[in-house]
Amino acid sequence: MSRFFWVRHGPTHAKTMVGWSDIPADLSDTGLIARVDAHLPQGALVISSDLHRARATADALQGDRERLPHEPDLREIHFGDWELKRFDEVEDEAHIRRFWENPGDVRPPNGESWHAVAARVDRAAARLLAAHPGRDIIAVAHFGAILTQVQQALQIGAYEAFAHKIDNLSVTELHWDQNRWHSRGINQLL
């Protein structure tokens, strides 16, 4: 059995849609970082998306754990033309509503759909499972990337997956038993 500990990166304090923009995380809550670190298995491998906020969070949690190269496929949703905009700043209100209320093939202009995000993150998880069978893996990633894996584990639709909250520096623990994912805790706050 393999265990994945999905950790959402530290907060950015942005009030906009932040996808592939490379903005930093606020890692000033050292007490919370220490609690997350203590909760995670010491012998686990650590990997993160290649975006700064995830890399810096992984650095803060790494300790003596082995670090794997950054993984671009663990990035957040690519919001395209909506990047760094608030919802009310998007001119096509019907389009953005469809994106969030009926996730699937709807994509932001020059961005990616929910199905594209899920396929990308699924490929990364499958590569990690194949390369490191039976290992514990700490994957520092983003809201959307983590929700794709919650969707897999719970065998639910994308809209139902969006009902789950994924807080910054929370832990979502999923186990792979050679057949499918199982949830052992979603959005654990420490």
Spans of all domains in the chain:
2-188
Looking at residue 179, what is its pLDDT? 86
Q: How far, in Å, CA of 78 to CA of 107, rounded?
A: 9
Q: What percent of the chain is modeled with pLDDT above 90?
A: 96
What are 58's two structure tokens?
Answer: 């992984």
Please tell me the least confidently modeled range out of 74-83, 123-132, 144-153, 178-187: 178-187
| 3-class DSSP state of 116 | helix
Q: Which top CATH class is 2-188?
A: alpha beta
Q: What is the pLDDT of residues 88-108, one digit of tens each?
A: 999 999 999 999 999 999 999
pLDDT band at 162 (very low <50, low <70, confident <90, very high): confident
Q: What is the pTM of this model?
A: 0.96
Q: What is the pLDDT of residues 13-33, one digit of tens each?
A: 999 999 999 999 999 999 999
Q: What is the pLDDT of residues 44-84, one digit of tens each?
A: 999 999 999 999 999 999 999 999 999 999 999 999 999 99
What are 114's two structure tokens?
Answer: 């929910």
Q: How far, in Å, CA of 16 to CA of 87, rounded?
A: 7
Distances (CA, A) of 73 to 21, 41, 51, 188: 15, 23, 10, 23
pLDDT band at 178 (very low <50, low <70, confident <90, very high): confident
